[in-house]
């Protein structure tokens, strides 16, 4: 109820007009977002409710058993196994890339032309197209042509192919992925390191804090949000790992490196099970959303706490 | 691709105009003129030697007929994915397409290609001496339905055979070219030394394993194409898997599981491997002048197993999609591309080594080209194709669900070779996976 003497609705009207103006300004971008991002995602979900396959056009609109693909996925051992492979690859690459990125960022967090040049050199793998990075590692991991294998063989220490051994194939992929992407985490963390204020560092130094104490009690709290963001980006990207696996192992030997993304690819493009592959992709996307939300909220809480 | 699609309307209009002119001109005038003048054809095939070399001759065809050809040869996987989608909509973007071997049943059974019988039998469209029967029986059988309708004109044959790049080592061991599976084992064991791998094989196990599987008396399915119950866990299949994976694991080079076919060829040419069973086009370069094994290589048919001899065989063919607007012009292209003269020119001028016409295979030029280090490989080539044509043992490969089983076989072999599982365990898992995938495809087992 407006107070007596005031003009009811004026402020409300201004707010409304303001909001309408904002909405009108945002509308083109929102429409573009819906058309380019949400609509295809929605279509993916719709297709996942059908037994779609290109050989039977009627299957694209067959919604008689909408949960069938999801039920099938739950009972599909190869899908479950691919999730486990995905977890191993994602956890290992995210942990190693974040730790390595942090370490190298700490080393490079100083002035000087040499350090500046080193930063650029470290970034080269990240700017390579993924397929080029995959080809580089394909050469390195192929005993016939690999300078690595040849050198080791020439000094009397031949090494069996790493990508055809089920015990090493996934880790060989993780190494290649780390080579390409740890500079990305390094870059984000380095940027955060460079804006850590000097005052608390100087105060702690005056109080006699050791370098380790400085790092854990002063620097780390400042850069933690950046580390979380970098890890989150890598986690999301690790789920999309494809070129390395496609080029290096094709998911093998057997299914030792068949991550969920690759499994969905074979279902869609080798077997033409579009509906089933879409269901797998929806599950994968949902899992990434949930994980991202969890990590993001924990990171935000930790930052707020500090 | 966009240029092909965007040209549709113009092409249809020109095609209609040409057809109109054709209808008005009468047979006499047609014979004298260019009835398809102004027609545009969109032609596509995956990137293989014959379609690529044909590209060089296209200006001749265009001059001869007045037809404009838009021609593309993308990679194998891209081609198949693109065409699968195009055909499923019965679209009219293409006028001539390759019928890919492993999609034969899927594409033909779905009615996506037009039968060619009317063109072949019509003397007005096809002169008698064009001679469709000259194409090897095995290739025509693959491209025909049960009623005998022919849907594709085959342009290639891929024959599974054997080569011993270091036959000198074989003879030193007191052995000869293997004629049985047991002899493969002996030759591989005897020559696996001093930096030479006794056995070479590439990672397309879905192509390489079935000849061994059938040689042991097994098969991929119970009775393809009618009964597609997988039979990957039978006693014969397990024995075959055990034998095949043993060859790769114990006599193969380091990293053999990731070997592609060109790595097999390279290993032969560099003298790093001895015995290989492969498609002929990957084995023939071992006799090239730049090969270290040029003077020692020897070829043979794929050996016999306990149950017989079943060398792999594949073919691909030109066909006309049902949605093509001007099928007579499409046929004009196929007729020209697959004439005796054109195939002979491909052999003579471009060194083509996989012809599908018997007259070309038996020609002195082809025999000369395929006489490698004094081996008559053309004879092996012809005998292998005739063997495949004499029975239906390749039927497993052209059923619509083979791509699924192909991957499953590959994974099964990799598990055995990399010692993740025994042959029995791995093949039982393969059987379970194959049944699950076939059921998902709607196959009643």
Mean pLDDT of chain B: 90
How far is it, in rounded angstroms, from Cα B367 to Cα B44? Answer: 30
Query: pLDDT tens-digit profile of A245-261?
Result: 999 999 989 999 999 99
Nearest to A163 among B258, B400, B411 (CB): B258
Query: Quick check: is A5 in a domain?
Result: no
How far is it, in rounded angstroms, from Cα A183 to Cα A179? Answer: 8
Using 50, 70 and 90 to split pLDDT, how confident is the model at A304? low
Q: What's A94's domain CATH number?
A: 1.10.3720.10
Report the gap between the CA of B252 and the closest CA in chain A (Å).
Answer: 12
How far is it, in rounded angstroms, from Cα A53 to Cα A70? Answer: 16
* Nearest residue of A to residue B205, measured between CA atoms: A254
* For residues A31-40, average pLDDT: 87
Q: Is it the case that residue A165 has pLDDT exceeding 80?
A: yes
Phi, psi values for residue B155, rounded to 5°: -110, -5
Query: pLDDT tens-digit profile of A49-82?
Result: 999 987 777 888 999 999 999 999 999 999 999 9
Query: Quick check: is A30 in a domain?
Result: no
Query: What's the length of chain B?
Result: 445
pLDDT score for A272: 83
pLDDT score for A1: 41
pLDDT score for B329: 96
* For residues A208-222, average pLDDT: 93
Beta-carbon neighbour count of residue B133 at 10 Å?
10
Is the minimum CB–CB distance between B260 and chain A shorter than 8 Å? no
Do the chains contact at A142 and B410, CB–CB below 8 Å? no
Residues 100-119 of B with CB under 8 A from A: 106, 110
pLDDT score for A12: 64
Query: Do residues B206 and B396 lie in contact, with contact meaning Cβ atoms separated by under 8 Å?
Result: no
Report the gap between the CA of A173 and the closest CA in chain B (Å).
Answer: 14
Instruction: Report how many domains make up chain A.
Output: 1
Higher pLDDT: B317 or B404? It is B317
Helix B235-251 / helix B181-191 crossing angle, nearest 10 deg: 20
Rg (CA), chain B: 23
* For residues B80-107, average pLDDT: 89
Higher pLDDT: A32 or B216? It is B216
Query: Quick check: is A1 in a domain?
Result: no
- Give the CA distances from residue B169 to residues A44, B87, B143, B342, B371, in Å, rounded to whole numbers and listed in that order: 58, 51, 42, 41, 22
Query: pLDDT tens-digit profile of B55-81?
Result: 999 999 999 999 999 999 998 878 988
How far is it, in rounded angstroms, from Cα A79 to Cα A85? Answer: 10
Query: pLDDT tens-digit profile of B146-161?
Result: 899 999 999 999 999 9
Using 50, 70 and 90 to split pLDDT, how confident is the model at A191? very high
Residue B7: name the closest of B46, B59, B36, B42 by CA. Answer: B42
Query: pLDDT tens-digit profile of B192-211?
Result: 999 999 999 999 999 999 99
Note down the domain range covering A261.
68-305
Q: Is it the case that residue B326 has pLDDT exceeding 90?
A: yes
Residues of B in contact with A269 (CB under 8 A): 77, 81
* Nearest residue of B to residue A141, measured between CA atoms: B255
Token pair 């999801």 is at which residue? A70
pLDDT score for B336: 97
SS3 B66: coil
Residues of B in contact with A255 (CB under 8 A): 411
Q: Is it the case that residue A115 has pLDDT exceeding 70?
A: yes
How far is it, in rounded angstroms, from Cα A293 to Cα A288? Answer: 8
Q: Is it the case that residue A44 has pLDDT exceeding 60?
A: yes
Domains defined along chain B, listed by start: 159-312+400-440 (3.40.190.10)
How far is it, in rounded angstroms, from Cα B220 to Cα B217? Answer: 11
pLDDT score for B15: 43
């Amino acid at each position: 109820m407006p107070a007596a003497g005031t003009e009811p609705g004026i402020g409300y009207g201004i707010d409304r007009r303001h909001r309408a103006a904002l909405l009108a300004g945002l509308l083109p971008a929102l429409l573009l977002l819906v058309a380019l991002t949400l609509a295809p995602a929605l279509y993916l979900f719709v297709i996942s409710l059908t037994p779609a396959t290109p050989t039977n056009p009627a299957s694209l609109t067959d919604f008689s058993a909408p949960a069938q693909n999801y039920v099938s996925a739950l009972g599909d051992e190869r899908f479950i196994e691919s999730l486990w492979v995905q977890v191993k690859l994602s956890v290992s690459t995210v942990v190693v890339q974040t730790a390595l990125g942090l370490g190298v960022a700490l080393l490079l967090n100083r002035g000087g032309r040499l350090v500046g040049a080193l930063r650029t050199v470290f970034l080269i793998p990240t700017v390579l197209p993924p397929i080029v990075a995959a080809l580089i590692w394909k050469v390195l991991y192929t005993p016939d042509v690999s300078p690595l294998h040849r050198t080791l063989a020439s000094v009397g220490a031949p090494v069996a192919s790493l990508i055809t051994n089920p015990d090493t194939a996934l880790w060989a992929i993780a190494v290649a992925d780390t080579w390409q992407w740890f500079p990305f985490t390094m870059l984000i963390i380095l940027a955060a390191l460079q804006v850590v204020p000097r005052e608390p560092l100087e105060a702690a130094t005056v109080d006699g804090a050791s370098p380790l104490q400085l790092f854990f009690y002063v620097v780390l709290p400042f850069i933690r949000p950046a580390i979380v963001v970098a890890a989150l980006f890598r986690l999301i990207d690790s789920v999309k790992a494809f070129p390395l696996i496609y080029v290096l192992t094709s998911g093998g030997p057997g299914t030792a490196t068949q991550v969920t993304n690759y499994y969905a690819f074979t279902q869609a493009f080798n077997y033409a099970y579009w509906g089933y592959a879409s269901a797998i992709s929806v599950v994968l996307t949902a899992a990434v959303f949930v994980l991202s939300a969890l990590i993001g909220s924990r990171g935000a809480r930790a930052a707020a706490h500090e | 691709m966009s240029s092909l699609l965007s040209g549709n309307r113009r092409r249809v209009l020109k095609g209609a105009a040409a057809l109109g002119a054709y209808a008005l001109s009468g047979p006499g005038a047609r014979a004298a003129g260019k009835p398809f003048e102004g027609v545009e054809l969109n032609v596509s095939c995956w990137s293989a030697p014959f379609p690529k070399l044909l590209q060089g001759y296209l200006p001749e065809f265009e001059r001869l007929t007045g037809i404009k050809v838009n021609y593309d040869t993308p990679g194998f996987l891209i081609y198949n994915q693109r065409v699968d989608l195009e055909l499923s909509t019965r679209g009219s973007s293409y006028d001539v397409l390759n019928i890919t071997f492993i999609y034969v049943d899927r594409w033909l059974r779905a009615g996506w290609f037009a039968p060619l019988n009317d063109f072949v039998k019509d003397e007005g469209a096809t002169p008698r001496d064009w001679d469709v029967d000259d194409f090897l029986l095995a290739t025509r059988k693959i491209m025909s339905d049960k009623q005998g309708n022919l849907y594709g004109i085959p342009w290639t044959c891929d024959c599974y055979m054997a080569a011993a790049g270091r036959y000198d080592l074989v003879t030193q061991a007191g052995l000869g070219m293997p004629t049985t599976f047991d002899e493969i084992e002996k030759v591989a064991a005897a020559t696996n030394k001093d930096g030479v791998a006794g056995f070479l094989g590439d990672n397309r196990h879905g192509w390489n394993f079935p000849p061994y599987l059938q040689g042991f008396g097994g098969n991929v399915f119970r009775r393809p194409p009618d009964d597609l119950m997988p039979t990957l866990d039978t006693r014969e299949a397990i024995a075959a898997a055990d034998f095949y994976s043993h060859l790769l694991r114990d006599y193969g080079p380091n990293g053999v599981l990731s070997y592609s076919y060109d790595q097999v060829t390279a290993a032969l040419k560099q003298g790093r491997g001895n015995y290989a069973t492969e498609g002929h086009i990957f084995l023939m370069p071992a006799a090239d002048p730049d090969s270290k094994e040029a003077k020692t290589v020897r070829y043979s048919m794929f050996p016999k197993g306990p149950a017989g001899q079943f060398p792999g065989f594949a073919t691909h063919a030109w066909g006309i999609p049902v949605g093509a607007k001007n099928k007579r012009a499409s046929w004009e292209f196929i007729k020209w591309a697959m004439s005796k003269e054109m195939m002979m020119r491909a052999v003579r001028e471009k060194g083509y080594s996989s012809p599908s016409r018997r007259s070309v295979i038996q020609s002195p030029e082809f025999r000369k080209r395929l006489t490698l280090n004094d081996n008559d490989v053309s004879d092996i080539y012809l005998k292998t194709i005739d063997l495949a044509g004499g029975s239906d043992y390749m039927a497993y490969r052209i059923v619509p669900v083979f791509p699924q089983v192909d991957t499953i076989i590959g994974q099964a072999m990799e598990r055995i070779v990399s010692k993740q599982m025994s042959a029995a365990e791995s093949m039982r898992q393969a059987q379970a996976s194959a049944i699950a995938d076939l059921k998902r495809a709607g196959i009643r087992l």
